[in-house]
Amino acid sequence: MDTRTGLPVVGMVGGGQLARMTHQAAISLGQSLRVLAANPDDGAALVAADVRLGDHTDLEALRAFAKGCDVVTFDHEHVPGEHIRALAAEGVTVHPSADALRYAQNKRAMRERLDELGIPVPRWWPVTDRRDIVGDVVVKAVSGGYDGRGVWLPSNLDSVPLGAGTELIAEERVPLRRELAALVARSPFGQVAAYPVVETVQRDGICVEVLAPAPGLPEERAVAAQQLAIRIATELGVVGLLAVELFEVDDGRLVVNELAMRPHNSGHWTIEGARTSQFEQHLRAVLDYPMGDTSMVAPAVAMANVLGGQPGGPSIDERLHHLFAEDPGVKVHLYGKQVRPGRKIGHVTVLGEDMEQVRARAVRAVARLRDGR
């Protein structure tokens, strides 16, 4: 507890944009997020008052960081499970637990567990040899990948790092209608709150747009996706947010793609678009506060990621001026990152009545910020 305010201290390991936006939510709850950042110019380190620098794989750094925190949580999946277990054994409250987080850290463990639970995932098998890569498959590193890294599509299966110490699986490609995401939050008490199911639009393995609610998704399929996410959160003992990335298969079935146990790109729309943002909800969950209202503020919400464009052209500040002049209603979130081509440097959100319109505005906004025109 912070003795100055009488309110809890939440420590978040990782100083990226998720911690940055969680800090914004923490401020409303009377808190100041404590952040363990790798670098002083990490997105959250630029804006939070209580920043500790340290390596998230260093148990001593984690121990020092956790001291005085009411709960420790994460903005990424890269803290070794044995370190989380060590902290928990020493009395630190950590959410999600190592046992739960394992299924977000290890794609093989996740698939084995979901297979046991009878929850559909694409057919998969371990890869140790070139001969294991057969059929229409993608190959994935079992751990460490994100934003298209650690995933090899049919177009680049030649570059799979066989025999390089990277544990790999192959996964059959499913005949895909589109990708969806179901976001839920679960508290230690076991209360679960589910957000409306969204469509996530991917390009080159990176999420570029999120549409809330998923357009044209039949009500019973939306409920099925929420129930699936609630069941996974409960069975795996997740505390905090759980994002379930789903494939909506051509025949209408829902198949689990990946899990994340933290605020997730597919939930950024909730900052303006839902009564309770995913960042506030994650804090409420890990602190065992009752969950907040997940209902939408407008009938249609579109989120688009701002990717860094090619060097040159107007400065990011000039681009922002132009965007604001063009569309006074777009909400911009910039993460304080240096611009590099293809890097996620922010996102925009547009609320409205009509999905086609809000999506078009979001797409135009990110083009302005990316290309400066």
Cα separation, 107 vs 238, whole angstroms: 16
**CB atoms inside a 10 Å sphere around CB 331:** 17
Angle at 114 between CA 112 and CA 116, to 5 degrees: 70
**For the window 50-89, what string marks contact with its own copies as x by the rule CB under 8 A?**
-x--------------------------------------
Is residue 230 part of the contact set for its own copies (CB under 8 A)?
no
Residue of 12, 45, 138, 207 interacting with its own copies (CB under 8 A):
45
Q: Are 107 and 139 in contact (CB under 8 A)?
A: no
Is residue 275 part of the contact set for its own copies (CB under 8 A)?
yes
Bridge partners of 300, per DSSP, are: 352
**For the window 24-43, what string marks contact with its own copies as x by the rule CB under 8 A?**
x-xxxxx-x--------x--
CB of 150 to its own copies, least distance (A): 28
Is residue 11 part of the contact set for its own copies (CB under 8 A)?
no
Is residue 5 part of the contact set for its own copies (CB under 8 A)?
yes
Span interacting with its own copies, options 53-61, 78-86, 210-218, 330-338, rule CB under 8 A = 330-338
Could you give the 3-state DSSP secondary structure of residue 142? Answer: coil
Cis peptide before 341, with omega less than 30 degrees from 0?
no
Closest alpha carbon to 372 in 281, 295, 306: 306
Residue of 56, 333, 368, 370 interacting with its own copies (CB under 8 A):
333
Helix (H) or strand (E) segment spanning residue 66: helix 59-66
Phi, psi torsion values for 259, nearest 5 degrees: -120, 145
* Residues near its own copies (CB under 8 A), total: 55
Q: And the tokens for 307?
A: 């990717």
Which residues contact its own copies (rule: CB under 8 A)?
Answer: 1, 4-8, 20-21, 23-24, 26-30, 32, 41, 45-49, 51, 193, 275-276, 284, 289-293, 295, 297-298, 315-317, 320-321, 324-325, 328-329, 331-339, 346, 351
